[in-house]
Amino acid sequence: MLQISDLHARYDGKDILTGVSLSIKPGEVHAIMGPNGAGKSTLGYVLSGRPQYEVTSGQVQLAGQDLLALEPEQRVAAGLFLAFQYPVEIPGVSTMNFLRTAVNAVRKARGQAEHDAPSFLRLVREKAKALGISEEMLKRPLNVGFSGGEKKRMETLQMLLLEPKLAVLDETDSGLDIDALKVVAQGVNSLRGSERSLLVITHYQRLLDYIKPDFVHVLSAGRIVKSGGPELALELEAKGYSHVA
Amino acid sequence: MPGADPHTIRTVAALGEARYPHGFETAIESDSAPKGLGEDTIRFISAKKNEPDWLLQWRLSAFKLWQGLREPNWAKLNYTPVDYQDISYYSAPKQKTAPKSLDEVDPELLKTYEKLGIPLSEQKLLAGVAVDAVFDSVSVVTTFREELKKAGVIFCSISEAVREHPELVQKYLGSVVPVADNFFAALNCAVFTDGSFVYVPPGVRCPMELSTYFRINAKNTGQFERTLIIADKGSYVSYLEGCTAPQRDENQLHAAVVELIALEDAEIKYSTVQNWYPGDKDGKGGIYNFVTKRGACRGARSKISWTQVETGSAITWKYPSCILQGEGSVGEFYSVALTTNHQQADTGTKMIHIGKNSRSTIISKGISAGQSQNTYRGLVRVLPRADGAQNYTRCDSLLLGDRCGAHTVPYIESKNPTARLEHEATASKVSDDQLFYCRARGLDEDEAVGLIINGFCREVLQALPMEFAVEAQKLIALSLEGSVG
């Protein structure tokens, strides 16, 4: 599904990724763990094409497509989704309006029919309900005044609506209490299937209790220094990053 | 506030020419006055319109006053001076007799409005909206007149009102904007050609939205329209105007005067979507829009609400204002002014509090892109007897790129210590975080900017009648297309 080969990237004149290679097969869940400043969030931004991040060498393929050749919005159409660590506020734009605009833009780019208003409303209500997102919240401007937990639920809702092939979750557990974490994890797990893959970026093992990974990788100083099964996360939790990195 | 990153600056630098789909010209034979302005021109216009002598004399006195006035230069606007002798002051599509119904209107004209998205043919009329279509100097057709007549509402061209309702016109014309109010207003009094007239009788709630669609077509022609709206005691009317013009290399002059009068307990809601040709990406061509709009809240508890979405014109000089004479009267001004490329807008409002407990609200949203300059200029004046007057003003400016300018010039003059006046202002940029977030959800840059800007303008767009709010949103997104990327 996702093939990253020897990826190097710079931000603000500094080399952040220094040769990341990673292969994710359809249906697999991979976790990227690592200390602060290891380049975890940069990896998410580079994959999604954030303009300020410059790829200096390497390749990335998503379902056979050259991801790095695409604009950010084309990557979404190709099946990539990034759940932000810090979702951005869009004042004056109601959440429902934003969701409809985004979903229809992506469906159009994928050659699918756009949703009409009533069918979209039904779809959103059903998925929002499962995530504990109220009708009232859907009417509010996107992310404006949302609590940390509300923002992460909203990221999850967007992920479910955009039906990605590969979702990158950047520190989705940050700012969540345990109840909110369970709800979000449930939402993420509902997306899992033989045709979808997940890349879970996290600092703590806690999230991985709820979203069980198939593989765990340790990112340190811009490259993957160790890979293993779920047990690696527990080992990191017990012994700390300095032990492996 | 996150600053613009180099990528955005680069992409904004590549600012393309905003697309202007209304730039076509209608091939139609017209009847025009020779270029130039003198008493003869005024007599020509007055004769063309079969006007009574009192109006001719009024025009001639305005012309004398105009000759003694100077073009205002206090606005933050920079433009090539207008040669007032190089303009034709009258242009009308040739037609043997005035059309009595839509069937008699030149099909070319109907096609023009169709292309502009304003279908005038009976089958396709916008439900619930009556339209007066003004083409260059004349009103070509007014729809839904019979239905309005049943309600007692008069909606016709001002030329017709001069003939059919002279007592109303004579009573109110020039009563809100005096002849010598300013240079452009005096010019308009001398040479105004057509425009709309509305009278809503006491206690009547106008059964539909009224709208006028102004179109400048002929070359080297100025449009000087005149609109007069009177809401009698306890009545209500919502009125909307839209404007477009063909794409031309020369600047064209548009100098309108709009007067609104609201009597006791009456309410007038006046909305404008101004999309005159703004000139090309190098600042060539475009309309000079020098407009005087003013409303008088004459009666107690009367209300006048101005909503404007200004996206067009090379130069905009416009301050829709309210004179709050009535006790407890209310004035509102909601504005979006969007400038791109080399456009310049100096726009705002005046709220003059005369009556006790009069209240006003000003919400202004300025968006500047390219190398444009966008100025909010507003005056809140409270006179000595306006006990308990209140004003709330908020001016928000949004910048795209770093070569444009946003300026806020509020004047506050209070002569009554009980007045409560609040003013807030913000300036910000479209952040890269917002743009990227939208793109990471599948929107391209243009869609993202359109969405963010429409969010920024929401409070103002919400004040528009619903049918037009959607159009205005599309227009804003279209005007900014290519502003980034």
- This model of the complex carries an ipTM of 0.96
* Span B371-406, pLDDT tens digits: 999 999 999 999 999 999 999 999 999 998 888 999
Of A139-143, B86-90, B205-209, give the range with the top mean pLDDT. Answer: A139-143
* Span B223-266, pLDDT tens digits: 888 999 999 999 999 998 886 666 666 778 889 999 999 999 99
What is the average pLDDT value for chain B, to the nearest integer?
85
Q: Evaluate whether A16 touches A42 at the Cβ level (below 8 Å).
A: yes
- The two structure tokens encoding residue A127: 């998925």
- The two structure tokens encoding residue B190: 């001398």
Amino acid of residue B89: Y
* Span B281-322, pLDDT tens digits: 888 888 889 999 999 999 999 999 999 999 888 999 999 999
Alpha carbons A202 and A211: distance in angstroms, whole number: 11
What confidence score (pLDDT) does residue B250 get? 73
A51 vs B432: CB contact, 8 Å cut-off?
Answer: yes
What confidence score (pLDDT) does residue A117 get? 87
What confidence score (pLDDT) does residue B303 get? 98
For the segment A133-153, the average pLDDT, to the nearest whole number, is 93
Which residue's entry shows tokens 């709220």? Answer: B351
Alpha carbons B273 and B434: distance in angstroms, whole number: 27
Give the number of C-alpha atoms closer than 13 A to the C-alpha of residue B352, restricted to the C-beta side. Answer: 13
* Span A18-69, pLDDT tens digits: 999 999 999 999 999 998 889 999 999 999 999 999 999 999 999 999 999 9
CB of B439 within 8 Å of a chain A CB? The answer is yes
Ramachandran sector of residue A58 (left: φ over 0; alpha: ψ -120 to 50; beta: rest)? left
Task: Give the chain A residue whose CA is nearest to the CA of B2.
Answer: A88
CB of B473 within 8 Å of a chain A CB? The answer is no
- CA nearest to B317, candidates B374, B398, B247: B374
B434 vs A90: CB contact, 8 Å cut-off?
Answer: yes
* Span B335-353, pLDDT tens digits: 999 998 999 999 999 999 9
Specify burial of residue B76 (Cβ count, 10 A radius: 0-12, 13-18, 19+).
middle
* Span A145-187, pLDDT tens digits: 999 989 999 999 999 999 999 999 999 988 888 888 999 999 9
pLDDT at B423 over 60: yes
- CA nearest to B395, candidates B375, B420, B372: B375
B455 vs A77: CB contact, 8 Å cut-off?
Answer: no
Could you tell me which residues of chain A have a Cβ less than 8 Å from any Cβ in chain B? 48-52, 71-73, 76-77, 82, 84, 87-93, 98, 101-103, 105-106, 109, 141, 158, 162
Alpha carbons B334 and B364: distance in angstroms, whole number: 6
Of A119-123, B69-73, B142-146, which range is least confident?
Answer: B142-146
CB of B422 within 8 Å of a chain A CB? The answer is no
Confidence at B3, pLDDT banded by 50, 70, 90: very low
* Span B203-225, pLDDT tens digits: 999 988 888 877 766 666 778 88
pLDDT at A204 over 80: yes
Of A228-242, B36-50, B172-186, give the range with the top mean pLDDT. Answer: B172-186
DSSP, res B419: -
CB nearest A102 (choices: B434, B443, B452): B443
If one compares B241 and B101, the residue with the highest pLDDT of the two is B241
For the segment A4-14, the average pLDDT, to the nearest whole number, is 96
Task: Give the chain A residue whose CA is nearest to the CA of B457.
Answer: A92
B443 vs A77: CB contact, 8 Å cut-off?
Answer: no
* Span A83-104, pLDDT tens digits: 999 999 999 999 999 999 999 9
